[in-house]
């Protein structure tokens, strides 16, 4: 775990009597393309919420870039470089697309060197430049997903967590998003991808962890995981 | 921000105009009514910093306003400091109340903050009713200091309120255009997303409640000298609760201009109405207009203007 | 000065009051606790119910509790209409945060001022032959005008509980409170269900209003005394727990009664506010919350 960018160590999370995560441990290396899969309700989004700081954990530790961030509030984790996109896009509806990016640039990226890469450049790279001065209400589904990613990029992530960014998109749109994520990774950003679209996860990930019912049941390369009988059982039942 | 010079200049110009009007020794009713309308500019602007910019609804405006007033009464009875000290004290105490209520409830959902403010007025009024030193339920007579500028204390208070209104608007405008204002907009639109984009949401919310409370307390502090007889029913009047909401919502909540428009329009209308119809009926009308606007034109007059302009 | 007699009387009074407070809070427990609609106008409907009961009692001499029951269909309809406006203007647009709250506050305000204009600020009360009578049990006096509302309150709580757990519409309401999407997939219309629930909530408020004016005279501004109580009870009992509402009502009633007996009656609003803040700070889920 010593060279991991993100180390989740024995994390447990309860909601009342329900055990959502049971001593889950994962380690993500810097620059890695990491996939997180599992059936619905297995705890993927809960784990992400714990890593991003939206939820407090009941046990275990989270270490990022050598720092224990277990009790750090979410906005400070973002400033350290953990950035997530949301499954259901949450744009700032009263602002234009450009202004939406202004928020993470001002807050998350503040002080970590915006490098002169400004909001318009991010929009151009992702293909939203034409809509820069529109409100989010005027965007299509895939454009909203792209806005989520663009906003995440504006936060200058070291670790980007993409939470089901491709759900419900057409095949061509999935490839579009996939290309963006691969490009980001090529620039040095570590990426955790949560997806149900298997071909995307298989193509993208260097390593995959599988969750089921709040526990880690498998880990390995895409090929290893796909051939793992425990994984098959989790998805298809017995 | 480099050109921050000129709003300040306009503000100073307004104060100068206010002083000029004061020196006119015009019909005293002008100053009485003017004071009320200016007071509402401060109240509406203060409310909007939390309600319009951050999206957190404060139903307990009377609590903060009256706390400023009663802080002043307490000091007038004990130490009798000059007016600026009274105002500063009123503002600080009310600001602390804002911070306290915020700290207790803002880590939960916004609706709990609103419910707490709703109950807050009732509780604070109970406290003041039971506190004999500041008059209790019977009230207290307050004697104005002698030898005021312009020869008339109400005229003097009028100019103070002009300055306070300018100050409040400048504060609101400054916040609106700064990273704080943008952060508040983000958290109003989607608090979870804002937090995940690095916006320190709790800190900004507490900032907004404190500044809002501070301005309300500043507005309340001169009130004892204005009315010369302080008692809980008028200090905690329902008028403040509904007007603090109605003026920004009708004027428009997204910018500092909205509360000013709302305060001037509604405030003048109510001043007219009090002499023609009963003040209660005029309050009822305010309530109906408020509901009407919230349902039909939620972006207020500013929003209507924007739509007419085709933006 | 303390005496066991005084204490016993205070506790009993508090228990009786508690049953009544439960009745007062049932509507909000349903509408806000279960369905997350922050209807802060609820106390105004309570007082409106009290005034309507007063009118029927004064003009036709009808027993106040009976008037309360008679008026429930009327208030149910009022509630349904109010919810439809709320839904169409706010919930559908996702605007229910700021604007929805202001809408309800506007209604609270309009109701209070209208009652003030129509009835003035004098205290109004009802006449019934059992008001003023009392019985004595083990040395403790129990006034009928407290006992009957308390019994009604417990009956209302039980009725609502059974309704929610045994009837189709009741269970639909519980389902909506948990997952609207699933309900839609099953062919039921969440909006219709919520309309029914809101109507019931307002009807409960009006019936509680009839109980209120039986216990004590009312003025238009009485609604302000109940804002803190309603929400304190709902939060303390646990959002969405009907049984919790009864328990919390009794707890609040007893604490208020003790405070009033030993420290004076004017601190009542502070009690509910204090409880509200305490619960929010320490255990926001309340006693029996989900």
User: Min CA distance, B203 vs chain A (Å)?
Assistant: 11
CA separation for the pair C232, C191 (Å, rounded): 27
Domain ranges of chain B: 2-237
- State the average pLDDT for chain A: 89
**Helix pair B300-309, B257-276: axis angle to 10 deg:** 120
CA separation for the pair B219, B43 (Å, rounded): 7
CA angle C182, C183, C186 (to 5 degrees): 90
**Contact status, residue C101 vs residue B230, Cβ threshold 8 Å:** no
C223-272 pLDDT tens trace: 988 988 999 999 998 887 888 889 999 999 999 998 888 887 778 888 88
Q: Is the pLDDT of residue C290 over 60?
A: no
CB-nearest to B294 from C103, C114, C231 is C103
pLDDT band at A113 (very low <50, low <70, confident <90, very high): low
C5-14 pLDDT tens trace: 888 888 888 9
Alpha carbon distances (Å) from C115 to A135, B60, C24, C225: 44, 21, 19, 16
Q: For chain C, how far is it from start to end, CA to CA, in angstroms? A: 42
Residue C111: closest CA among chain B residues belongs to which residue? B284
CB-nearest to B284 from C103, C117, C225 is C117
Query: C218: which DSSP letter?
Result: B
Residue B121: closest CA among chain C residues belongs to which residue? C224
CB atoms within 10 A of CB C111: 21
pLDDT at A114 (0 to 100): 55
The fraction of chain B above a pLDDT of 90, given in percent, is 59
CA separation for the pair B63, B114 (Å, rounded): 13
Alpha carbon distances (Å) from B80 to B125, B148, B215, B227, C50: 23, 15, 22, 17, 47
Please indicate whether, in this complex, the C-beta atoms of B118 and C40 are within 8 angstroms of each other: yes
Residue B230, phi then psi, degrees to nearest 5: -100, 125
pLDDT at C180 (0 to 100): 65
In sign, the C-alpha dihedral spanning C101, C106, C107, C112 is positive
Q: What is the ipTM of this complex?
A: 0.89
User: Min CA distance, B194 vs chain A (Å)?
Assistant: 8
Joined tokens for residue C48: 């409106």
List CB contacts of C158: < 8 A, sequence separation 6 or more.
none
CA angle C126, C8, C270 (to 5 degrees): 65
The DSSP H or E segment spanning B242 is helix B238-251
Q: Which residues of chain B lie closer than 8 angstroms to C281, CB-CB? A: 104
Q: Is the pLDDT of residue B68 over 80?
A: yes
- State the average pLDDT for chain B: 90
Q: Is the pLDDT of residue A76 over 50?
A: yes
Please tell me the least confidently modeled range out of B223-227, B264-268, C132-136, C160-164: C132-136
The fraction of chain A above a pLDDT of 90, given in percent, is 57
Alpha carbon distances (Å) from A139 to A32, A89, A144, A148, B292: 31, 11, 6, 12, 30
Task: Record the pTM.
Answer: 0.90
Q: Is the pLDDT of residue B194 over 60?
A: yes
User: Min CA distance, C106 vs chain B (Å)?
Assistant: 6
- State the average pLDDT for chain C: 87
CB atoms within 10 A of CB B243: 26
As a whole number, mean pLDDT of residues C163-183 equals 82
Chain centre distance of CA B92: 14
As a whole number, mean pLDDT of residues A117-127 equals 85
Query: B208: which DSSP letter?
Result: H
**Contact status, residue B259 vs residue B214, Cβ threshold 8 Å:** no
Instruction: Report the neighbours of A using a cutoff of 3 or more CB pairs below 8 angstroms.
Output: B
Q: Which residues of chain B lie closer than 8 angstroms to C101, CB-CB? A: 57, 59, 111, 114
User: Min CA distance, C96 vs chain B (Å)?
Assistant: 10
pLDDT band at C142 (very low <50, low <70, confident <90, very high): confident
As a whole number, mean pLDDT of residues B18-38 equals 86
Please tell me the least confidently modeled range out of A197-206, B135-144, B271-280, C132-141: C132-141
User: Min CA distance, C219 vs chain B (Å)?
Assistant: 15
Please indicate whether, in this complex, the C-beta atoms of B179 and A84 are within 8 angstroms of each other: no
Q: Is the pLDDT of residue B236 over 50?
A: yes
As a whole number, mean pLDDT of residues C9-32 equals 91
pLDDT at B1 (0 to 100): 47
CB-nearest to C267 from B104, B126, B249 is B126
Q: Is the pLDDT of residue A111 over 70?
A: no
Instruction: Report the neighbours of C using a cutoff of 3 or more CB pairs below 8 angstroms.
Output: B
The DSSP H or E segment spanning B308 is helix B300-309
pLDDT at C177 (0 to 100): 82
C95 vs B: CB within 8 A: yes
As a whole number, mean pLDDT of residues B96-110 equals 87
Residue of C36, C277, C284 to mutate when probing chain B, most B C-beta within 10 A: C277
Q: Which residues of chain A lie closer than 8 angstroms to B202, CB-CB? A: 73
Joined tokens for residue C187: 């062919």
**Contact status, residue C268 vs residue C258, Cβ threshold 8 Å:** no
In sign, the C-alpha dihedral spanning B162, B167, B170, B172 is negative
List CB contacts of C98: < 8 A, sequence separation 6 or more.
B51, B55, B57, B188
* CATH number for the segment(s) C4-282: 1.10.3470
Q: Which residues of chain B lie closer than 8 angstroms to C231, CB-CB? A: 115, 119
C282 vs B: CB within 8 A: no
**Helix pair B300-309, B238-251: axis angle to 10 deg:** 10
Q: Which residues of chain C lie closer than 8 angstroms to B111, CB-CB? A: 38, 97, 101
CB-nearest to C276 from B119, B288, B290 is B119
Rounded (10°) CA dihedral C108, C112, C113, C119: 160
pLDDT at B171 (0 to 100): 96
- Residue C216 DSSP SS3: coil
As a whole number, mean pLDDT of residues C45-68 equals 91
Greater pLDDT, C94 or C153: C153
Domain ranges of chain C: 4-282
List CB contacts of C69: < 8 A, sequence separation 6 or more.
C207, C210
A180-231 pLDDT tens trace: 999 999 999 999 999 988 889 999 999 999 999 889 999 999 999 888 888 8
Residue A148: closest CA among chain B residues belongs to which residue? B193
């Amino acid at each position: 775990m010593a060279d991991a960018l993100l180390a989740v160590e024995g994390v447990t999370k309860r909601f009342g009597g329900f055990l959502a995560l049971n001593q889950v441990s994962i380690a993500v290396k810097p620059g890695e393309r990491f996939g997180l899969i599992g059936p619905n309700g297995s705890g993927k989004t809960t784990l992400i919420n714990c890593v991003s700081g939206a939820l407090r954990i009941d046990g275990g530790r989270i270490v990022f870039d050598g720092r224990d961030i277990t009790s750090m509030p979410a906005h400070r984790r973002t400033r350290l470089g953990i950035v997530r996109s949301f499954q259901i896009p949450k744009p700032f509806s009263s602002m234009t697309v450009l202004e939406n990016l202004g928020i993470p640039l001002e807050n998350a990226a503040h002080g970590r060197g915006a490098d002169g890469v400004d909001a318009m450049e991010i929009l151009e790279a992702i293909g939203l430049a034409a809509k820069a001065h529109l409100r989010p209400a005027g965007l299509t589904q895939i454009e909203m997903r792209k806005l989520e990613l663009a906003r995440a990029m504006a936060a200058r992530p070291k670790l980007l967590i993409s939470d089901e960014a491709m759900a419900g998109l057409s095949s061509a749109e999935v490839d579009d998003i996939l290309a963006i994520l691969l490009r980001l990774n090529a620039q040095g950003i570590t990426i955790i991808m949560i997806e149900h679209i298997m071909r995307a996860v298989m193509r993208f990930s260097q390593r995959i962890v599988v969750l089921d019912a709040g526990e880690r049941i498998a880990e390995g390369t895409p090929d290893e995981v796909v051939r793992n009988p425990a994984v098959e059982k989790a998805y298809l039942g017995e | 921000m480099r050109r921050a010079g000129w709003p300040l200049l306009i503000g100073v110009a307004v104060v100068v105009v206010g002083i000029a009007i004061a020196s006119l020794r015009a019909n005293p009713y002008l100053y009485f009514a003017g004071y009320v309308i200016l007071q509402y500019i401060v109240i509406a602007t203060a409310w909007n910093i939390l309600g319009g910019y951050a999206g957190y609804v404060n139903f307990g405006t009377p609590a903060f306003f009256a706390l400023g007033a009663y802080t002043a009464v307490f000091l007038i009875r004990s130490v009798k400091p000059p007016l600026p000290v009274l105002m500063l004290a009123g503002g600080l105490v009310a600001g602390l109340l804002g911070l306290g209520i915020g700290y207790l409830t803002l880590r939960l959902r916004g609706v709990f903050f609103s419910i707490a403010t709703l109950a807050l007025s009732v509780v604070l009024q109970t406290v003041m009713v039971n506190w004999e030193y500041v008059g209790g339920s019977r009230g207290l007579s307050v004697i104005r200091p002698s030898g005021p500028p312009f020869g008339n204390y109400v005229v003097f208070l009028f100019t103070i309120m002009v300055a306070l209104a300018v100050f409040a608007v400048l504060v609101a405008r400054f916040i609106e255009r700064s990273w704080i204002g943008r952060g508040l907009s983000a958290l109003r639109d989607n608090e979870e997303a804002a937090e995940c984009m690095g916006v320190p949401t709790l800190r900004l919310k507490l900032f907004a409640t404190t500044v809002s409370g501070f301005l309300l307390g500043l507005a309340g502090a001169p009130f004892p000298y204005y009315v010369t007889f302080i008692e809980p029913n008028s200090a905690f009047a329902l008028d403040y609760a509904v007007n603090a909401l109605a003026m920004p919502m009708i004027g428009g909540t997204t910018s500092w201009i909205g509360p000013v428009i709302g305060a001037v329009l509604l405030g003048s209308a109510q001043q007219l109405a009090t002499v023609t119809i009963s003040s209660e009926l005029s309050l009822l009308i305010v309530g109906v207009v408020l509901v009407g606007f919230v349902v039909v034109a939620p972006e207020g007059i500013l929003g209507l203007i924007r739509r007419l302009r085709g933006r | 000065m303390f005496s066991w007699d005084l204490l016993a009387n205070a506790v009993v009074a508090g228990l009786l009051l508690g049953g009544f407070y439960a009745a007062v809070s049932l509507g909000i427990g349903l509408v806000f606790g279960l369905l997350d609609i922050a209807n802060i106008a609820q106390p105004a409907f309570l007082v409106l119910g009290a005034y309507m009961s007063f009118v029927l009692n004064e003009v036709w001499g009808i027993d106040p509790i009976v008037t309360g029951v008679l008026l429930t269909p009327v208030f149910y309809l009022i509630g349904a209409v109010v919810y439809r406006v709320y839904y169409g203007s706010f919930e559908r647009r996702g605007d229910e945060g700021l604007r929805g709250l202001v809408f309800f506050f506007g209604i609270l305000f309009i109701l209070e001022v209208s009652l003030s204009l129509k009835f003035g600020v004098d205290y109004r009360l009802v006449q019934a032959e059992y008001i003023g009578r009392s019985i004595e049990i083990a040395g403790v006096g129990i006034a009928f005008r407290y006992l009957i509302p308390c019994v009604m309150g417990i009956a209302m709580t039980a009725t609502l509980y059974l309704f929610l757990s045994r009837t189709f519409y009741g269970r639909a309401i519980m389902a909506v409170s948990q997952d609207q999407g699933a309900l839609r997939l099953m062919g039921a219309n969440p909006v219709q269900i919520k309309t029914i629930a809101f109507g019931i909530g307002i009807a409960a408020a009006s019936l509680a209003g009839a109980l209120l004016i039986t216990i004590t005279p009312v003025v238009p501004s009485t609604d302000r005394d109940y804002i803190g109580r309603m929400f304190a009870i709902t939060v303390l009992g646990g959002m969405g727990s009907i049984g919790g509402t009864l328990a919390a009502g009794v707890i609040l009633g007893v604490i208020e009664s003790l405070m009033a007996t030993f420290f004076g009656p004017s601190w009542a609003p502070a009690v509910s506010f204090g409880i509200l803040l305490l619960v929010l700070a320490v255990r926001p889920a309340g006693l029996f919350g989900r």
